[in-house]
Structure 1
Amino acid sequence: MKVLITGSNGLLGQHLIPLFARDGKYSVIATGRGTNRSPQGENYIYESANLRDAGSVQQLVQKHQPDIIIHAGAMSQVDECEKNKDACWDTNVGATRYLVNAAEKVNAFFLFLSTDFVFDGLSGPYNEDAAVNPINYYGTSKVAAERLVHNSKLQWAIVRTVLVYGVANDPHRSNMISWVRDNLRQGKKIKVVDDQVRTPTLCQDLATGCLLIADKKATGYFNISGKEILTPYDMAEQTATFFQLDTGLIEKISSRSLAQPAARPAKTGLLINKAEQELGYKPHTFAEGLEIVAGEIR
């Protein structure tokens, strides 16, 4: 069975490739912008493609005729989306439209990666049936893309996730755990918000959730995230304790003090009962995730 993974140079993409490549029933085609940055060296094909170009997308899908498309590619830097709305729309909505149109021609199963930022954060954590109401442009673009998938002629699944953490082979991408560890080891004080509530997600868990959906070709909306409700400050404090560093160097701050271009929902987080019951999804605790990420950082 052929699976096409978009956004293969990103954090999730770099974890999806080896997971599917190790599984004997999948042939993996990975696509991203520019050169291949995945550390997985074999057992898959890499194709550079511009997903914002309809012809490029059509050519890619027609060439490989995938049975499953996992659309993980996105513009996900929330403030960048707010400042560059045209680029955000072209990347998150336009590319999804082109992929859906191409997928319909080959009747591929379509798995779309979305976000907790489709919600306003007034009443989280949310289940799959909660009404969407984004408060920033990134969330708005993801709602529009979700609707394209939902209204398509395809068999589809939409995966919403939250605050994904892990390690990618990318010198320009930092992760919260190494950021906290490195600063505290140097004796530097760090400021971390304590007024945003999330259910942080280990990237390996998110990738496994996608594999479970692909295996079953399970359709509909699925929340795939961690189970614990934590603030970024909680995550930083646990990280410091894990590495035996000084938690007194971590200062709680309000998100309002950051004056970020894009608003953030205050309380999101996702309820994962459906994924647990229908898929057998079992996420790691944040403490277990710390162990895994620390091993990767080493």
Structure 2
Amino acid sequence: MNKPNLIITGANGLLGQKLVKNLLEKDKFHVIATGRGKCRLPHSWKGYTYCSMDITKAGDVQEVFDQYKPEILIHGAAMTNVDQCESEKGACYLQNVEAIKHLVKACEQHQTYMVHLSTDFIFDGADGPYTEEAKPNPINYYGETKLQAEQIIESSNISWGIARTVLVYGISHDMSRSNIILWVKKSLEEGKTLQLVNDQLRTPTLAEDLAEGCILMAEKKAKGIFNISGKDLLTPYQMAIQTAEFFKLDISKIQKVDSSTFTQVAKRPLKTGFSIEKAKDQLKFKPKSFKEGIAILAKQLNLANC
């Protein structure tokens, strides 16, 4: 029996890698991993197809969809550097909004179910944590483009699910991207003093959990918006303390500050984080705690250093 085709965008990125690995282990779909340029997935992984696809080019998207006629699309590719989005609005719009139009059109033509990745930054942070029904009000350009993408999908004729997430952390196989855990660990090991804000709240999300949530949506072809995030509501300062405690590093080097200490190009919402009751109930989504996430990263670091 032929397995249905499933396309992943952004397959070379952190989430993309976790999606490919998880899907290969489940072996329910033929995975078509796509990204801009060459494949950067581990050479040892077998059983999937990789093809280069620039989602900002309608012709690229059309060609890949026409070739594979996917039953499901998990769309994880995006421009996510919040300050870069603010200073390079044209590029941000192209990747986060214009590309959505190409993907939606292709999904309409091939009756493809789409899981779209969105963000807590569509909210202003005045009243978090948020449910799926909360009213968006972005305060930076990244959030604006992600909200526009949601609206394009919601007003389309395709079958869709939107997975909103928060502060994703994890380790990619090529260690190309850092995160708060790795940064705190490395900085404290080097004897540096760190300043972390204690007035921003998030529900940090392990990349493996986010991938599992997206796949649960894909398997059920779940319709509507789902909050897919971690379950612990924490400040960056609290995340740093938990990290230092786990690795038995010097907590006294971590200083508590507020957001006004830092000048950033784009505004950040203060209090976001998500209620994940809907995903737990309807998808049986079971995310790890932040402490469990640290332990998973520590194990992966040890394996990478072997």
> In structure 1, what is the equivalent of residue 180 of structure 2?
176
Residue 294 of structure 2 aligns with an amino acid whose one-letter code is L
Q: Tell me if 1:148 matches 2:152.
A: yes
Separation (CA, whole Å) in 1 of partners of 2:172 and 2:121: 22
- Three-state SS of the structure 1 residue aligned to 2:285 is coil
Separation (CA, whole Å) in 2 of partners of 1:199 and 1:175: 14
After TM superposition, the structure 1 = structure 2 runs for residues 254-273 of structure 1, keeping only pairs within 5 Å, are 254-273=258-277
Cα RMSD after superposing both structures: 1.0
- Give the alignment's TM-score, normalised by structure 1: 0.98
Separation (CA, whole Å) in 1 of partners of 2:163 and 2:106: 20
- Give the alignment's TM-score, normalised by structure 2: 0.95
> In structure 2, what is the equivalent of residue 3 of structure 1?
6
Q: Tell me if 1:21 matches 2:24.
A: yes
> In structure 2, what is the equivalent of residue 241 of structure 1?
245
Q: Which moved more, 1:238-247 or 1:183-192?
A: 183-192
- Find the partner of 1:87 among 80, 84, 91: 91
Q: How many residues align?
A: 298
Q: Tell me if 1:35 matches 2:38.
A: yes
Residue 194 of structure 1 aligns with an amino acid whose one-letter code is N
Runs of 4+ in 1 over 4 A off after TM superposition: none
Separation (CA, whole Å) in 2 of partners of 1:222 and 1:297: 31
Separation (CA, whole Å) in 1 of partners of 2:144 and 2:94: 13
- Three-state SS of the structure 2 residue aligned to 1:5 is strand
CA contact (8 A) 1:189 1:251 kept: yes
> In structure 2, what is the equivalent of residue 113 of structure 1?
117
Q: CA deviation at 1:171?
A: 4.6
Query: Structure 2, unaligned stretches of length 5 or more?
Result: none
Residue 34 of structure 2 aligns with an amino acid whose one-letter code is T
CA contact (8 A) 1:222 1:274 kept: yes
Q: CA deviation at 1:82?
A: 0.3
CA contact (8 A) 1:178 1:297 kept: no
Residue 115 of structure 1 aligns with an amino acid whose one-letter code is T
Cα shift readout 1:217-244 (whole Å, capped 9, x = no counterpart):
1100000001111001110110000000
- Three-state SS of the structure 2 residue aligned to 1:131 is coil
Q: Tell me if 1:213 matches 2:217.
A: yes
- Percent identical among aligned pairs is 50
Query: Structure 1, unaligned stretches of length 5 or more?
Result: none
Separation (CA, whole Å) in 2 of partners of 1:172 and 1:262: 23
Separation (CA, whole Å) in 1 of partners of 2:20 and 2:199: 35
- Find the partner of 2:137 among 133, 138, 162: 133
Residue 253 of structure 1 aligns with an amino acid whose one-letter code is V
Q: Tell me if 1:47 matches 2:47.
A: no
CA contact (8 A) 1:160 1:224 kept: yes
Separation (CA, whole Å) in 1 of partners of 2:9 and 2:133: 26
Cα shift readout 1:257-290 (whole Å, capped 9, x = no counterpart):
2110000000000000000110111111111111
Q: CA deviation at 1:170?
A: 3.9
Separation (CA, whole Å) in 2 of partners of 1:32 and 1:170: 15
Separation (CA, whole Å) in 2 of partners of 1:171 and 1:68: 28
Separation (CA, whole Å) in 1 of partners of 2:175 and 2:240: 21
> In structure 1, what is the equivalent of residue 126 of structure 2?
122
